[in-house]
């Protein structure tokens, strides 16, 4: 089969390719090529930034026990260091869920962990040291999005000027380089059409796909020169504040060609599609303008983008970060870093979302993952090493809550600094049931 033909696979076909897996639990908003799963998660893997002078100072994969009735439930049961501090950031499972790919935004190293051999104790399977040269100059491997037989990786920057111009980079499941797909720019639209006054800035950040519509959607952030700068210094640097993305790009999933560029000002970050069979839309939030955006297919089959809600008070710049749509497509969790809050939006009418709940998690909060049944919600703390708060406000944790539909009730809290682990960033769930015969 030609690699391009993978884009036309149905979710059922992808599931069949993945093998005879039993049901288990997963956070929502993952690649639709992975099995759709329900039940109780057994582990959470936390990709963690090393801190100078703390523990072994290295980035690490931390495993926390979530098994009901386990004597170590809510505790760290395994930690695997990878060598050095790489600005550990995002990661994602391969489509067969046997490997967990993660990246370092500073060193551009990619770490592939074997999850299936012993889900309670992942081991390092492979390290890719050649991302920049493989890709033709892409810097900052960010999102790892599973496709059947391959991994699509978004970049944040480039080696020429460390600015926001970047690309998508594809590897096969063995870790071999496949291709680079540069983001469209005003000077090289690559056949894409800019709509509503959009300017193709060439920036990148997140990626998600809607298989039945044959589309990928990417967002935009900022380059290495900004994300490796001290946050307070950057806020005072007028030129640096101009170097943020203001666009989202709609791609042809099958051909990997950009089709449309949308005007989404203010650095749109996470992209999330719902699961419903007729849900032809996605949400994103803008970090700098604190807005919730809807990218949707209209009645004429054309894709559009519009702002549909404010997140907190935009004038306060709460800095929306991670988001998570519930599996029933009715609600959306939105975290904001600066005020340490999570907010829940009713998105039953995606064109008119409304906030129905909020809670302060701590002095800062970044990532959110929820179980498939929506009853458990997990939060982690670190944004970027140089952007995390300072002094007493620099809290680092994994925190678990139970959600009864009305209130988040804390289940357990792991202080990553007290444990000498570092800064807790992205989370992914695991279960031994996945690999049982």
Residue 355 within a domain? yes
Confidence at residue 17, expressed as pLDDT on a 0 to 100 scale: 36
Secondary structure E strands in 134-176: 138-139, 144-147, 150-154, 157-158, 167-172
Q: Output the domain CATH number for residue 347.
A: 2.130.10.10
Got the DSSP string for 16-71? HHH-SPPP----SS--TTSPP--S---EEEEEEE--TTSTT---EEEEEE--TT-T
Domains in the chain: how many in total?
1
What are the average pLDDT values for consecutive 10-residue runs of the chain, which has 437 residues?
Answer: 36 36 53 76 96 98 97 98 97 95 98 97 98 98 97 98 98 98 98 97 98 97 98 96 98 98 98 94 98 98 98 97 95 98 98 98 97 94 98 98 97 98 96 77
Residue 308 within a domain? yes
Residue 296 within a domain? yes
Confidence at residue 315, expressed as pLDDT on a 0 to 100 scale: 96
Confidence at residue 432, expressed as pLDDT on a 0 to 100 scale: 86
Confidence at residue 431, expressed as pLDDT on a 0 to 100 scale: 86
Residue 365 within a domain? yes
Confidence at residue 40, expressed as pLDDT on a 0 to 100 scale: 86
Residue 171 within a domain? yes
CA separation, residue 165 to residues 136, 173, 289, 338, 377 (Å): 13, 26, 21, 27, 35
Residue 156 within a domain? yes
Confidence at residue 12, expressed as pLDDT on a 0 to 100 scale: 36
Q: Domain containing 299: what range?
A: 3-177+283-435
Cα distance between residue 208 and residue 101, in whole Å? 16
Residue 250 within a domain? no
Cα distance between residue 38 and residue 50, in whole Å? 33
Cα distance between residue 275 and residue 35, in whole Å? 12
DSSP 328: T
> Strands 123-128 and 110-114, how do they pair?
antiparallel
Residue 260 within a domain? no
């Amino acid at each position: 089969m030609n690699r391009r033909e993978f884009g036309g696979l149905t979710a059922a076909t992808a599931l069949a390719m993945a093998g005879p897996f039993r049901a288990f639990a997963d956070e929502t908003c993952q690649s639709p090529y992975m099995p759709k799963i329900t039940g109780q998660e057994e582990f959470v893997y936390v990709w963690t930034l090393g801190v100078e002078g703390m523990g072994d100072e290295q980035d690490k994969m931390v495993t926390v026990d979530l098994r009901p009735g386990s004597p170590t439930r809510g505790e760290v049961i395994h930690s695997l260091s990878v060598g050095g501090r790489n600005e550990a950031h995002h990661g994602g499972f391969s489509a067969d869920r046997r490997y967990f790919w993660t990246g370092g935004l500073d060193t551009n190293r990619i770490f592939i962990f074997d999850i299936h051999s012993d889900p309670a104790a992942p081991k390092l399977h492979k390290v890719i040291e050649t991302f920049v040269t493989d890709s033709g100059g892409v810097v900052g491997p960010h999102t790892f999005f599973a496709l059947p037989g391959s991994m699509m990786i978004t970049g944040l920057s480039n080696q020429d000027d460390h600015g926001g111009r970047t690309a998508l980079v594809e590897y096969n499941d063995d870790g071999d380089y496949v291709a680079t797909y540069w983001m469209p720019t005003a000077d090289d639209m690559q056949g894409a059409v800019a709509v509503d006054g959009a300017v193709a800035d060439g920036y990148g950040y997140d990626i998600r796909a809607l298989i039945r519509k044959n589309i990928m959607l990417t967002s935009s952030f900022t380059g290495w020169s900004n994300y490796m700068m001290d946050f307070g210094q950057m806020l005072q640097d007028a030129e640096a504040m101009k170097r943020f993305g203001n666009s989202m790009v709609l791609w042809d999933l099958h051909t990997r060609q950009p089709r449309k560029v949308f005007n989404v000002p203010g650095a749109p970050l996470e992209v999330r599609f719902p699961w419903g069979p007729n849900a032809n839309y996605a949400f994103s939030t803008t970090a700098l303008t604190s807005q919730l955006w809807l990218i949707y297919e209209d009645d004429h089959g054309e894709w559009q983008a519009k702002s549909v809600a404010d997140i907190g008070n935009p004038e306060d710049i709460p800095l929306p970060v991670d988001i998570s749509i519930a599996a029933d497509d009715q609600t959306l969790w939105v975290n904001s870093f600066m005020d340490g809050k999570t907010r829940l939006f009713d998105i039953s009418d995606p064109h008119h979302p409304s906030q129905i709940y909020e809670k302060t998690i701590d002095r800062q909060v970044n990532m959110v993952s929820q179980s498939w049944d929506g009853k458990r919600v997990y939060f982690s703390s670190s944004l970027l090493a140089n952007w995390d708060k300072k002094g007493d406000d620099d809290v680092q944790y994994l925190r678990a809550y139970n959600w009864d539909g009305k209130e988040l009730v804390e289940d357990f809290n792991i202080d990553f600094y007290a444990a000498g682990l570092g800064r807790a960033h992205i989370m992914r769930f695991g279960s031994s049931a996945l690999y049982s015969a």
